[in-house]
């Protein structure tokens, strides 16, 4: 392998200093970075895919993609379906963990191109969002906000997380991080996964570990149901109207997985009736959330615009992961976070 013989193309916004860090990883890399083809970030750590507006931009992107052996992110959405057919492309490092469905839609799961995810990068921010959401309900944040708006002073009693029963669907990096956090607050934590195998609950910071086949057995006991599972054919519509009805009256639903995991109309009905005490939602069936969705105006719902995973430290963490994987790739070692093209995570 000659000096600079592996073309690495940066295809979503990234700070110049981080691009330089990637270039400094190994002299065998030839980092391709065309900032004028990339959109300006709308917020810190924005990884919006580029838009192709002109024939000249199209030609430049096609030439860059044809040359690249490694991509940082997926490049223009308009050219995404061509990625699986590029003769030189070997590997794509995604900037998100939940890219399985997207990779399937654009044909990468039927190709030889390796996709690695950003799994683990967002675990702490999402766990903190989940904890914040739980505390908002336990400590009466919605009530306090309403009282403050009304200039009304009336003492009240809050609750504690200690003793609350929390069900976590999907105990990967995110699920384990929130379980670890809640362990210190003396919650009772039950996790459900596709296949527990020989994993022990205590190793995952859980009191109990169930398979998805046993999901229905835990719903009636839950004070909080936390969804952080991948969206696959097995989890599509997993939290159905029947399962929402089976939840303990007054339970709170927290979803940082994907909107398709939940029957959203049934959830709305349960929120309106009071069967669900509330919900904290980072993901929705349709995004952006439509202006006429009743969720916007519900006093017991926290809406986050699919941003709970994003933190100011994100780009550095993704680049650190990418650099480690680049070294592994160059040295012929297994990559971290390889997408399973059957399971889609």
Is the CB of residue 318 less than 8 Å from the CB of residue 121?
Answer: yes
Q: How many percent of the chain have pLDDT more than 90? A: 99
Residue 3 has pLDDT above 60, yes or no: no
Task: pLDDT band for 75, please (50, 70, 90 cuts).
Answer: very high
262-291 confidence digits (pLDDT tens)? 999 999 999 999 999 999 999 999 999 999
Distance of alpha carbon 191 from alpha carbon 205, whole angstroms? 9
Q: What is the mean pLDDT of residues 40-56?
A: 95
Tokens found for residue 277: 């005490």
The ranges of the chain annotated as CATH 3.40.50.720 are 6-120+311-331, 123-303
Alpha helices by DSSP H, 151-235? 173-183
What pLDDT sits at residue 1? Answer: 37
User: Looking at domain 6-120+311-331, which of 3.40.50.720, 3.30.70.600, 3.20.20.70, 3.40.50.280 is its CATH number?
Assistant: 3.40.50.720
What pLDDT sits at residue 114? Answer: 98
Distance of alpha carbon 183 from alpha carbon 179, whole angstroms? 6
Tokens found for residue 12: 């979503």
How would CATH label the architecture of 123-303?
3-Layer(aba) Sandwich (3.40)
Distance of alpha carbon 146 from alpha carbon 131, whole angstroms? 21
182-201 confidence digits (pLDDT tens)? 999 999 999 999 999 999 99
**DSSP secondary structure string, 224-289?**
EEEE-----TTTTT-B-HHHHHHSPTTEEEEE-S-GGGB-HHHHHHHHHHTSEEEEEES--SSSSP
pTM comes to 0.93
């Amino acid at each position: 392998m000659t000096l600079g013989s592996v073309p690495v193309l940066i295809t979503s916004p990234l700070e110049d200093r981080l691009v330089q860090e990637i270039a400094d990883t190994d002299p065998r890399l030839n980092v391709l970075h065309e900032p004028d083809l990339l959109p300006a970030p709308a917020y810190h750590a924005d990884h919006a895919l580029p838009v192709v507006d002109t024939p000249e931009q199209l030609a430049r992107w096609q030439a860059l993609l044809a040359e690249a052996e490694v991509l940082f992110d997926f490049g223009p959405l308009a050219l995404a379906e061509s990625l699986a057919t590029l003769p030189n492309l070997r590997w794509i490092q995604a900037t998100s963990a939940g890219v399985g469905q997207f990779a399937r839609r654009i044909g990468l799961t039927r190709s030889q191109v390796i996709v690695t995810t950003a799994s683990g990068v967002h675990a702490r921010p999402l766990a903190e969002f989940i904890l914040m959401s739980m505390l908002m309900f336990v400590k009466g944040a919605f009530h306090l906000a309403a009282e403050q708006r009304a200039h009304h002073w009336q003492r009240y009693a809050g609750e504690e997380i200690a003793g609350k029963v929390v069900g976590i669907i999907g105990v990967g990096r995110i699920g384990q991080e929130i379980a670890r956090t809640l362990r210190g607050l003396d919650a009772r934590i039950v996790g459900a996964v596709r296949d527990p195998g020989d994993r022990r609950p205590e190793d995952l910071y859980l009191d109990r570990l169930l398979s998805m086949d046993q999901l229905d057995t835990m719903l009636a006991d839950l004070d909080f149901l936390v969804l952080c599972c991948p969206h696959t054919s097995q989890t599509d519509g997993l939290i159905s109207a029947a399962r929402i009805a089976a939840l303990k009256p007054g339970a709170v639903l927290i979803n940082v997985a994907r909107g398709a995991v939940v029957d959203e109309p049934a959830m709305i009905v349960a929120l309106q009736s009071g069967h669900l005490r509330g919900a904290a939602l980072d993901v929705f069936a349709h995004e952006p959330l439509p202006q006429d969705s009743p969720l916007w105006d519900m006093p017991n719902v926290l809406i986050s615009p699919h941003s709970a995973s994003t933190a100011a430290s994100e780009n550095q963490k993704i680049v650190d992961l990418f650099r480690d994987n680049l070294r592994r790739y160059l040295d012929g070692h297994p990559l971290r976070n390889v997408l399973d093209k059957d399971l889609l995570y």
